[in-house]
Structure 1
Amino acid sequence: MRFTQSFAPALLLLAGVAQAASSWGFDDGTLSVVAKKGGAGVKEKINSKSPLSKPVTLGSTDTLKLILTATDNGKGKRPHQAFVVLKDQDTGLEAPFPLTVKESGKATVQISHKDLPVQFLLATEPLKASIVIGSFGSAKPLDTPVFNIKIETDSAVPPPAYEKPVRYGKKAEIHHIFRADPKSPPAVISIFFALAVVAALPALFISWLLLGANLNHLPKAIGASPVSHATFFGSIVAMEFVFFLYFTNWTLFQVLPVIIVVGAATVLSGSKALGEVQSRRLAGDR
């Protein structure tokens, strides 16, 4: 079942609002409320000119039955659409209930609590019931209130729960809570890896000696290209220092610009320093 705030106007547009000689209506309207437990029911005559003065009570086990004959210019006829529209007078919510109509125009509908939306079961004021009849052609459609319904729920049963649907609109401001900054690893792990690096230095020096490293070439290298060798060595030390700062207190955004500058200096000076070493090797200076 669909609920809408403007069901009746949509039907009137479909049926046509042009003034014409004929118009839709209904005759022999009868409203009855039948109790499931066989209690005293209610039966009223209804018409399109004067709605009932008192609301009809619909209990939790009752069934409301409506019988009428749809007429076009006073003659029984089957319309294209015929509805009983219930409306909550506080919120304006409407729920249409289609009538079952025969070719003769005789129409019936039955309504009980299970057919009603939850909002209607929680309504504090009686529901407004209207008859809406219309069809194709020039006949004027009918939209008229005929009675009110007071909904009564079982006091022994908890009231139904209802949550308002989510609507597009302004929402409350969202305050993000970010995670705490990552902490440094335990001191024991840091000390362990620091000692591992220090222990690797003797192995590096021993490897240089076994491979024939010749420190006597150091003065020649510095003399031939002092700026490139000094810058290359200094950039390597600076890069290690940057990593140390990142490990202690610098953030990634502080480290990246410095790494780019130091890295560029390493590449430029290293190419010239290693080129000088290669030229001496090719000259036979080993």
Structure 2
Amino acid sequence: MRFSQPIASALLLAAAGVAQAASSWSFDEASLSIAAKKGADGVKEKLNAKNPLSKPVALGSTDTLKVALTAKDNGKGKRPHQAFVILKEQDSGLEAPFPLSTKDNGKAVVQISQKEIPAPLLVSTKPLKASIVIGSFGSAQAYNSQVFEVEIKTDPSAPAPQFEKPLRYGQKDEIHHIFRADPKSPPKVISLFFALAVIATVPALFIGWLSLGANLNHLAKAIGAAPLSHASFFGSIVAMEFVFFMYYTSWNLFQTLPVAGVVGAVTVLSGTKALGEVQSRRLAGER
């Protein structure tokens, strides 16, 4: 008997799908029980791998939740590589895993009390979603599904669990920079005092020149020999004083520095030639 190529391909794909679906992890013989404190009735429910419990189970402050099951691979009891009961907070998505103690035949059990549950999950106002995760190495598909919900019942007489929210990096509020006011000028009395002190040095400068034998008769020779250099040198000195005056009265540092740089360059270039001309006359014996 022979099959056509399309039919054979379809049969192979169907067989592969059945094999893949059969090779998967699940559990059976599962139960959930809550051992209550003395004098109270406990709770026991059967768990189904396909249908979760319809109502949440309550876990008190002194209660212990116990989950027992048999892990199965392809319908056979087997010890998986990983088996967990995971409690998840619905709003934040925070999870807390609780490993199942498993045996070689797949029998597994875990016990959970409130003191083992992290504080962010204990203060949740909504029931915690409980999922069972079973998986191992190989090609078998792991099992991961919600099976029941747990409602935390804290002790009203005990202090509420405290925790600090972790730092999360994200968008922050816009920051509006407030710059401090511009610095004010010193009092006028102080400014006037130093201005008079500077002006008082001008007569002292001329007196010093005369005492050292300054000769104003050489002024005409100096200007005649290098008029541009002497004029630029003297003008740059006056200009630099004007720059300082403007900086003191109205300019800021960014306005002052470029102008001061240009004036300083003119002072260096013109001063080199002007003072060189004076030196040449001194070397020639003119006093």
Instruction: Give the TM bin, normalised by the shorter chain.
Output: 0.7 to 0.9
Q: Output the CA distance in 2 between the equivalents of 1:142 and 1:98.
A: 14
The AA in structure 2 aligned to 1:163 is K
Q: Output the CA distance in 2 between the equivalents of 1:190 and 1:252.
A: 20
Q: Kindly tell me: are residues 186 and 110 of structure 1, through their superposed partners in 2, closer, same or farther at Cα, counting changes over 3 Å?
A: farther
The answer to whether 1:150 aligns with 2:151 is yes
Q: Output the CA distance in 2 between the equivalents of 1:21 and 1:121.
A: 38
Question: Helix, strand or coil: the match of 1:221?
Answer: helix
**Which residue of structure 2 aligns with residue 200 of structure 1?**
201
Alignment check: 8 A CA contact 1:87 1:94 kept: yes
Moved more, 75-84 or 25-34: 25-34
Alignment check: 8 A CA contact 1:118 1:162 kept: no
**Which residue of structure 1 aligns with residue 14 of structure 2?**
none
User: What is the TM-score of this pair, normalised by structure 1?
Assistant: 0.79
**Which residue of structure 2 aligns with residue 70 of structure 1?**
71
Q: Output the CA distance in 1 between the equivalents of 2:50 and 2:224.
A: 117
Q: Deviations over 1:147-175 (max 9, x none)?
A: 2111223334346455374244x444332
Q: Kindly tell me: are residues 20 and 182 of structure 1, through their superposed partners in 2, closer, same or farther at Cα, counting changes over 3 Å?
A: same
**Which residue of structure 2 aligns with residue 163 of structure 1?**
165
Q: Residues 268-279 of structure 1 correspond to what in structure 2 (within 5 A)?
A: 268-279=269-280
The answer to whether 1:33 aligns with 2:29 is no
Q: Kindly tell me: are residues 90 and 230 of structure 1, through their superposed partners in 2, closer, same or farther at Cα, counting changes over 3 Å?
A: closer
Q: Output the CA distance in 2 between the equivalents of 1:108 and 1:117.
A: 20
Moved more, 43-52 or 228-237: 43-52
Moved more, 87-96 or 266-275: 87-96
**Which residue of structure 2 aligns with residue 59 of structure 1?**
60
The AA in structure 2 aligned to 1:166 is R
Q: Residues 60-209 of structure 1 correspond to what in structure 2 (within 5 A)?
A: 60-156=61-157, 157-158=159-160, 160=162, 163=165, 165-168=167-170, 170-209=171-210
Shift of 1:55: 1.2
Q: Kindly tell me: are residues 165 and 73 of structure 1, through their superposed partners in 2, closer, same or farther at Cα, counting changes over 3 Å?
A: same
User: What is the TM-score of this pair, normalised by structure 2?
Assistant: 0.79
Q: Kindly tell me: are residues 101 and 255 of structure 1, through their superposed partners in 2, closer, same or farther at Cα, counting changes over 3 Å?
A: same
Alignment check: 8 A CA contact 2:133 2:144 kept: yes
Q: Output the CA distance in 1 between the equivalents of 2:237 and 2:204.
A: 19
Q: Output the CA distance in 2 between the equivalents of 1:140 and 1:233.
A: 93
Alignment check: 8 A CA contact 2:119 2:161 kept: no
Task: List runs of 5+ in structure 1 lacking aligned partners.
Answer: 1-16
Alignment check: 8 A CA contact 2:120 2:163 kept: no
The AA in structure 1 aligned to 2:48 is N
Shift of 1:247: 0.9
**Which residue of structure 1 aligns with residue 221 of structure 2?**
220
The answer to whether 1:285 aligns with 2:286 is yes
**Which residue of structure 1 aligns with residue 246 of structure 2?**
245
The AA in structure 2 aligned to 1:98 is P
Shift of 1:84: 1.0
Alignment check: 8 A CA contact 1:246 1:252 kept: yes
Q: Kindly tell me: are residues 235 and 18 of structure 1, through their superposed partners in 2, closer, same or farther at Cα, counting changes over 3 Å?
A: farther
The AA in structure 2 aligned to 1:105 is G
Question: Helix, strand or coil: the match of 2:84?
Answer: strand
Q: Output the CA distance in 1 between the equivalents of 2:114 and 2:167.
A: 21
Alignment check: 8 A CA contact 1:52 1:148 kept: yes
Higher relative contact order (CA 8 A, sep 6+): 1
* RMSD of aligned Cα (Å): 2.9
Q: Kindly tell me: are residues 243 and 18 of structure 1, through their superposed partners in 2, closer, same or farther at Cα, counting changes over 3 Å?
A: farther
Shift of 1:77: 1.9
Shift of 1:31: 1.8
Shift of 1:99: 1.3
**Which residue of structure 1 aligns with residue 49 of structure 2?**
48
Q: Output the CA distance in 2 between the equivalents of 1:162 and 1:39.
A: 34
Question: Helix, strand or coil: the match of 1:150?
Answer: strand
